[in-house]
Chains A and B, each alone.
Chain A
Amino acid sequence: MTSAPMPHFHATVRVGLRASVLDPAGDAVCAAALRLGHSAIQSIRIGKAIEVQLEAPDAATARRQLESLSAQLLANPVMETWSLELHHQEN
């Protein structure tokens, strides 16, 4: 008898600088956007999206693991915030 395969999950962790933290790269991109005529642009902030594949017995466990990973490694809470999107994947 074989055990059921562990469910697979895909997550996107979005990490960005806190609103109070200077983002000179975002400012530089914003200046370029304005130079190109995108005059409606008011500000640009640059972050990163980190794609994670994982196995977990259920979505709640997957979320807990990802929250721990995000707070511990993927984002530095001193200067960054993060958010998480979790999707179940068919095996």
Chain B
Amino acid sequence: MQVGVVVFPGANCDRDVGWALAGCLGWRVTFLWHQDATLPKLDALILPGGFSYGDYLRCGAIASSAPLLRAVADFAAMGGPVLGICNGFQVLTEAGLLPGGLIRNRGLHFICRDQRLQVASCCSPWLCRFAPGDSLTLPIAHGEGCYHIDPPGLRQLEDNHQIALCYLDNPNGSIGHIAGVSNKAGNVLGLMPHPERACDQATGGTDGQVLFQGLVDRLGLS
């Protein structure tokens, strides 16, 4: 399994993602600089968490115009699996690859804790080891994770089974308790929780591994 991990200035979870995927799952990881214009041959692409460009203007706004994002959009348009984690999710919404947007948490606090979640739809290949209604625990760590979309957009997400994960106790005020959404095709997934931080029992759980292993199953790779 050959995965690319995008590196933006200000990202701070790229090495965590690399460690989890290479160290825990044996994937081959290539780090991709944001100024690159082309991608090597990859099976999947991950946009990690952090504070790309210092979160200036809006979280993910400046990263969404990075040269590499055009290549990411092309990869996604061809059906390539793309996962945005936390700030990576914000970048994907800002780039228009995922619907909606992320705003300041309702209670203004930066929330850093383990979070119980429920799978709403497992249409995305990243979630194919889950069934709707399954619960899992993944860490969250964000100040701007309140998912927002207008009512027609929310209805569209529901109708197209694009709501992937929901919070069980909605810590940040997200509309519809939404913790993650996919694009209509399912290959692009964005999550506020951090699956890469739940890949080793020594760091508090392995529910995140299930998500990554699901993609391997779906792609028929190892």
Contact = CB atoms under 8 A, between A and B. Distances in A.
Given A17-B103, A24-B107, A78-B149, 7 more contacts: A22-B146, A25-B104, A73-B61, A74-B57, A76-B58, A78-B150, A79-B148
A78 B105 contact: no
Given A76-B94, A79-B101, A79-B148, A24 B106 contact: yes
What is the size category of the interface that chain A forms with chain B?
A: 10 to 19
Nearest to B106: A24
Contacts of B93: 78
Contact of A76 (B61, B65, B104, B146): B61
A20 B61 contact: no
Interface of B: 57-58, 61, 65, 93-94, 99-101, 103-108, 146, 148-150, 173
Interface string A11-29: 0000001001111110010
Nearest to A72: B65
B108 A24 contact: yes
A91 B206 CA distance: 63
Contacts of A28: 108
